[in-house]
Amino acid sequence: METGKRVLGEEHPDTLTSIANLALTYQNQGRLKETEELGLMVVETRKRVLGEEHPDTLKTIGNLVLTYQHQGRLKEAEELGLMVVERRKRLLGEEHPDTLTSIANLASTKQNQGQWKETEELQVMETRKGILGKDHPDTLESIANMAIIYQNQGQWKKAEELQMMVIETRKRVLGEEHPDTQESIHILH
């Protein structure tokens, strides 16, 4: 990142990508204040340099949505998430993988707010199955999220069926020791 700043300049797309990646590293480490600071800086620079609707700008705003979620700032996450979804639908279409990821992130925000009906309406499980395939990690994540929604609505049988399907598919595709497989097994128990 520092080399990129020195050689390419602070506003070069590659430098901004390095900074955005550092922000994601901080987020994974739980360093949310630093994540937010870097994320906001990258968003503002990308808006100025690339424009508000550039895919890289929208991706960075989407990452900021996740940061706000982790911070418990769900109203702000929801507002930004809605904006990203609307723009991606208009620019990329409703079935583009990036649009589906944004919708899934918005659903996660709604889920964290206990808005189960809205969460269910935002699910992209069937669309992802059709576009990415039933074994794709993003599809499996959507199915696992649907299982959690059913669980929180007291629909235990549906939740268990979906979760078992996710576990079996993840075991086959990713292996039994993969963290996603282990997480699914943990949730079921």
* 10 — pLDDT class (breaks 50, 70, 90): confident
How does pLDDT run across 94-132, given as a tens digit for each residue? 999 999 999 999 998 998 898 888 888 888 888 888 889
What CATH number labels 1-116?
1.25.40.10
Q: What residues does each domain of the chain span?
A: 1-116, 123-189
What integer pLDDT is reported at residue 91 of this predicted model? 95
Percent of the chain surpassing pLDDT 90: 60
What integer pLDDT is reported at residue 184 of this predicted model? 87
Question: DSSP H helical segments within the chain, as ranges?
Answer: 2-7, 13-28, 32-49, 55-70, 74-92, 97-112, 116-121, 125-132, 137-152, 156-174, 179-188
What integer pLDDT is reported at residue 178 of this predicted model? 92
Asked if pLDDT for residue 143 goes beyond 80, the answer is yes
Distance of CA 19 to the CA centre of its chain: 19
What integer pLDDT is reported at residue 26 of this predicted model? 94
* 5 — pLDDT class (breaks 50, 70, 90): low
Handedness of CA 32, 104, 130, 175 (dihedral sign): positive
Asked if pLDDT for residue 33 goes beyond 70, the answer is yes
Asked if pLDDT for residue 4 goes beyond 70, the answer is no
- In angstroms, rounded to a whole number, what is the distance separating the alpha carbons of residues 189 and 181? 13
At the top level of CATH, which class does the domain 123-189 belong to?
mainly alpha
Q: Do domains 1-116 and 123-189 have the same CATH topology?
A: yes
pTM: 0.79
- In angstroms, rounded to a whole number, what is the distance separating the alpha carbons of residues 134 and 121? 20
